[in-house]
Structure formats: C-alpha cells, structure tokens
Amino acid sequence: MDHSQTVAARLEFVFQRIERTAMTGIPILNPALCVSAVGVQQWQGEWLAVLVTPWFMDLVLLPAGDGQARPRMPTGTKEHVSFPAGQFEFIQAYDEELGGYRMCSLFSPMFEFADQESAEEAGRQVLAELFNREAEEDEDGDMARVWEGRLAEEVASALDGVETARTPESSQPAGLPRRSLFGLGDKEEAAA
C-alpha cells in the first residue's frame, strides 16, 4: 500500500467511525452514499483529497507527517489556501486520530447525488478544476472589471437590444430605469 492509499484508508476509517457514532439517525444522511477519500495526492507538503460522506463533500488537507507539519491552529480558524484555480477558504478541524487538518466545504447535504459513483465523479471533477489555471484567470479578469466598474457596463451593454419578456408598465417600479439596476444610473445622471 503506497502513502496515498494509507492516507485514504485512515481518513475513511475516522469518518466511518463518525458516521456510526455521531451521525446515526440524523436525517441529513444520504443512504445511497458511503465514506470515500477521492484523489488523494500531495499538494504543497500536505495531503489533499476530496472526502465524500453521506452528509457532506469537502476538500481536505492533512499534514504529510514528514516532520514538516504546520503549527496547529485553533479549531474553527479560517484561512485561505491558494491553488492554481484560485484561493479557497478552509476551516481548521481536529480529530484524535487524524490530528489537525483543514476542510473546505463543497456540498452539504448530499441528496443531489443519486449514487456513490456520481458523488466520487463530482469529487474527481472538483480536483481537476482546482488545478485549472484558466478558471483563476477568468475569475481574476471579471473581478478586476467589477472593481473598476467596467463589468456592470459590459453587462448593461450586452443587454441593450436584447428582447426581454414584456411586463406591464404598472408592475415596474416608477423611476427605476433598467441601467440603474446595474449601478449605472448615477453615473449617467452625473454625466448629463
């Protein structure tokens, strides 16, 4: 058994125990799912996995155990972790058997997954997107345009000439032109 399989087995063992002890009878469990660690791999000196359980799917970061462990943060501490696709918020957690680890929520509850295969496939897709640099570039470009006030103008320009569903005049608020919805009304009035 290689290291990634050992980490997966340890993670699964702990959360199977939690399922049997702390989660029994709780109505948020999806009975079609079981605990599974998907795509366990090393990332920046830690073990990264998607943890699928009957009640949640999270990204998990565990210490690599090579003597280079991060200092333990208080449980509940939030911090952002950088991946090629961008930064994601992780919350510090602790378990007697796992020690300190960090989790980033993806899905909870898990009722939208019909079976284990679809949940694990979603986990694999999450990992693939996590390492997709293009996703960050697209998001960074959009965010820069938002801060500069350009994205709202681009959206409004794109909507000009687009036929939308007609609504009776009486149902539209008086004095609220469509461009005001995008925060552009004040700019146009000031320019006039």
What was the pLDDT predicted at 2? Answer: 87
Evaluate if residue 103 carries a pLDDT over 90.
Answer: yes
Evaluate if residue 152 carries a pLDDT over 60.
Answer: no
Contact between residue 47 and residue 67 where contact means Cβ atoms under 8 Å apart: no
What was the pLDDT predicted at 158? Answer: 46
Evaluate if residue 171 carries a pLDDT over 60.
Answer: no
Contact between residue 29 and residue 54 where contact means Cβ atoms under 8 Å apart: yes
19 compared with 138, residue with greater pLDDT: 19
Residue 46 backbone phi and psi in degrees, to 5: -130, 165
Q: What is the mean pLDDT of the chain?
A: 80
Q: Comparing C-alpha atoms, which of 153, 155, 157, 159 is closest to residue 187?
A: 153
182 compared with 79, residue with greater pLDDT: 79
Provide the residue ranges of all domains of the chain, joining segments of one domain with +: 3-131, 133-160+177-192
Alpha carbon distance 166, 4 (integer Å): 57
Evaluate if residue 175 carries a pLDDT over 90.
Answer: no
**Confidence category of residue 162, pLDDT binned at 50, 70, 90:** very low
What's the pTM? 0.69
Alpha carbon distance 66, 91 (integer Å): 22
Contact between residue 133 and residue 84 where contact means Cβ atoms under 8 Å apart: yes
Q: Determine the average pLDDT of the residues in 106-113.
A: 97
CATH 3.30.70.2660 fits 3-131, yes or no: no
Evaluate if residue 1 carries a pLDDT over 80.
Answer: no
Q: 31: cis peptide before it, omega within 30°?
A: no
Q: Which residue has the tokens 């501490």?
A: 77
Evaluate if residue 151 carries a pLDDT over 90.
Answer: no
User: pLDDT tens, 120-135?
Assistant: 999 999 999 999 887 6
Residue 44 structure tokens: 């920046």
